[in-house]
Chains A and B, each alone.
Chain A
Amino acid sequence: MSKITSFIVKLIIVLMIFYLTLTSFLKLFTEQVNSYKVDEVFDHQKNSEITLPLRSLNLSLEPSIQEFSFSLLTDNIKESVDEKTQEQYFLYFPRFEQDITITVNGNTITNKGNISRWQGPLIFNSAFIHIPPYVFNGEVLNFKITISTNSLPPISLYPFFIGNHDNLNLAYVTHQFLEKTTRQISMVLLILVLTISIIIYLKLPYHKEYLWLAIASGLFLPLRFSNLVFGMDKFIEFVPWLYFLIPLATLSIFYYIKILIQNKYFNIPLIPTILFVLLGALSAFIGLLPLRQAIILVSLPIVLFSLFFSLSILVKHTYQSSSSMSFILLCSVLFLFISFGHDVLVLNNYLSHTFLISYISVFILLLTIIIQLFNKLIELLNNIKLSNVFLNKSLVEADQALADAYEQQRLLSIKTSISAERGRITEELHDGIAGHLTSILTIARNNENEHNKQIAKIAKYTINELRLLIDTFETESDDLAIVLSIVRERILMPLEASEIKTTWWMNNIDPDYRINPNLGLDLIRILQECINNAVKHGKPKIINVEIYVAGPDVQIELLNHGGEAYYKKETGHGLRNIKKRLKKFTNASFSIRKIETGAASTITFTLEDTKNS
């Protein structure tokens, strides 16, 4: 089975189920009440049987009044009601235009209390009227019925019911349910649709379809109000003007569906259509056209076009997308058309069903729209929730980034200040102190005696200290080799002048592992302390420095030979200092041990792995 066939079959099956369910439900009541229905009467003037409804079209703008005269055989009535019970008889007119006056066998039986207004469809009334027993004075009941309207012609006399109270009550209650209660519920649903679509539109302004849905429901609402709200009968002559809203409402529905489904091919121009409707209303207002004709002229093409295009778009979309929501919506719309057809047949007495069902289908359509809106609303809420979660996350991240940036900025500014200050100090040391120290050194060397030798030694030592200070100020490297080169150049090499031989050995360093630049100065100071300790206490002739680097692990060994076999427990100030500085390193250790020719200090720590960070 091809896709299109299965689509059509599916559609037909669903619609059949819809229709059959409803009509079989109606049949139940119809069969019980149809025997009380009067749809054929005898016309005296034509001397023949005629079928209701009787219609009279008056196109004038004046309020129209129409009189219908006909006869009914009482036998027909008495057959249908149980004679023995001697019950009272009633007339039930389910629908008629505004006012009705009924005369039976010359007796007027209408009174205000018997008429319930605004019970029927559109501007129809319904009436439940008692027939007093004294009017049954022969075998024939001669009816003279006058119906008037000051709103929309034509005037129709629809089939009515005659029977006892209990018989007619069922028809009355069924009408009430199908044509009033459902409409009342529909009105509530319409308000709901209006509210929800406004909410969705306000939350999602780029979803224009919900604006159109709100406009459509807003335009339908006044008509519903005029039908259902108590007291509106005072304004009955204005109600037909509201019918000019219907083409605009259907146009809005078209736009709703068009945008919802993102259809680009069909279009009904908005502004010209609105102008056309206004023109129709204006021509009726100034009397160029009778109101009814103006409404039909304006509404019919627009309503037909809008509905036809909407339906085409909807069918096409449902067929292509196989969305179940769209399918249900399509079924509801199609069922609404079927119901309208059904009702037209009923009103013209071509169908024996008696009751109108379009209100039920409107109710179903609104329910479908509400479900669709509800879905959208849930989706919207979910989206909002997700967005909130996302926003919160982003906010936290942004906050963190800001804090990080601020911290970096702060550190940078500290660093810059430190660097500037170091630059200034370096200049001062260089231009001032170092100059004077070299003078002292030169003078002391010029005049060699034991005293001056001591001064020269101290001056030289101080100059070296200054150089070390400047080097550490100026070198901020994460390369261990560079840091160690400062130690060699500034601390170890000057020892050669004091006739201490030095050796330096280092294996290659894996460039992936770096030393934290902040720890460089600490490492230099630690090694300086070790070397100074060795020189001061060990008085060595040879100092060996051996550096073993294996991956991130560093071991620095300092051996002093030839002097006193000095080594000291961890008590001195220097050692405390070394330990304190080493605490900043990862996996750091320090040890000092006695060896045959002197002493050995060993420092170990771990470098940072920049490859994985």
Chain B
Amino acid sequence: MTTTPPYKILIMEDNKVVQRRFYDVLSNWQNTGLIYTSESIFEAKRIIENYHIDLLLADLVLPDGDGIGIIELLLHEQPDAISVVISALNSRTKVMSAFKVGAIGYILKDEEDYSIVEICEYVLDGKSIMSPSIARMMLNEMNHLSLYHNSTKVVNPLTNKEAEVLNLIGKGLTYKEVAVIEDITVGTVQVHIRNIYKKLHVNNRSEAFYEANKLGYLNE
């Protein structure tokens, strides 16, 4: 699971200006090994199939399709790789579906340079970040999951601590404030966040499994 620097990074972004900026910022990071860039799904697919990738920064809207498919493909081909969404605004549906297929973080396109590096450091270190608006979406999604699984005797997938952390972030508290309330370090808050993303992904898969089973696609 844990990867060590130097990291091989793939930037999938069709906006050349934005792509250039991310390239520049990450080139200056001491942990960066190799940077691949792609402006389309097609190119990204080719790179993933041929090269080892540690970190994928993926825009979701590309000229030849949806970035979500690439995140899914990367996790399938290279399960240890980490995917982070590059997003302009964080609109619910797109970002949520990226998390569901295994993305474990996001970078806003207008983020400051240092933030971009910071986020990459976090996600490669087993942590993650989450804004209040993402937390609110997550809360909705988790409520849906626990409602959904009530019938199949699967309880809310989050631990109490994770649920509390998610709740507090959703209410606009900073990591520091959450850490004080929960009596943990900011780093632990971020680890919880990372686990929340993972659980959404896993539960999303089991939900799909359940659906498929119900429909009779699986024999077991």
Contact = CB atoms under 8 A, between A and B. Distances in A.
B172 interface: yes
B207 to A, nearest CB: 22
Nearest to A427: B91
Interface residues of chain A: helix, strand, loop or mixed (majority): helix
Interface in B14-38: 15, 17-18, 20-21
Instruction: Sort chain A's interface into a size bin.
Output: 35 or more
Interface string A429-473: 111001101110111011000000000000110010011001100
B132 A442 contact: no
B154 interface: no
Contacts of A485: 132, 136, 170-173
A252 interface: no
A489 B17 contact: no
Given A429-B89, A486-B132, A438 B109 contact: yes
Nearest to B86: A438
Interface of A: 423, 426-427, 429-431, 434-435, 437-439, 441-443, 445-446, 459-460, 463, 466-467, 470-471, 474-475, 477, 481-482, 484-490, 504
16 contacts: A423-B93, A429-B91, A430-B94, A431-B61, A434-B89, A438-B109, A443-B17, A446-B21, A463-B88, A470-B91, A474-B92, A475-B133, A475-B136, A481-B171, A484-B172, A486-B133
B90 interface: yes
Interface residues of B, number: 25
A460 B110 contact: yes
A489 B88 contact: no
A435 B133 contact: no
Contacts of B170: 482, 485
B92 A481 contact: no
A426 B88 CA distance: 11
Given A430-B88, A430-B89, A504-B172, A488 B21 contact: no
A25 to B, nearest CB: 86
Contacts of A475: 133, 136
Given A467-B89, A486-B132, A442 B171 contact: no
Contacts of B92: 426, 474
A443 B94 CA distance: 26
B15 A438 contact: yes
B195 interface: no
Contact of A438 (B18, B131, B132): B18
A423 B94 CA distance: 11
Interface string B170-203: 1111000000000000000000000000000000
Given A423-B93, A474-B92, A435 B15 contact: yes
Nearest to A504: B172
Contacts of A477: 136
Contacts of B15: 435, 438-439
Nearest to B169: A485
Contacts of A490: 133
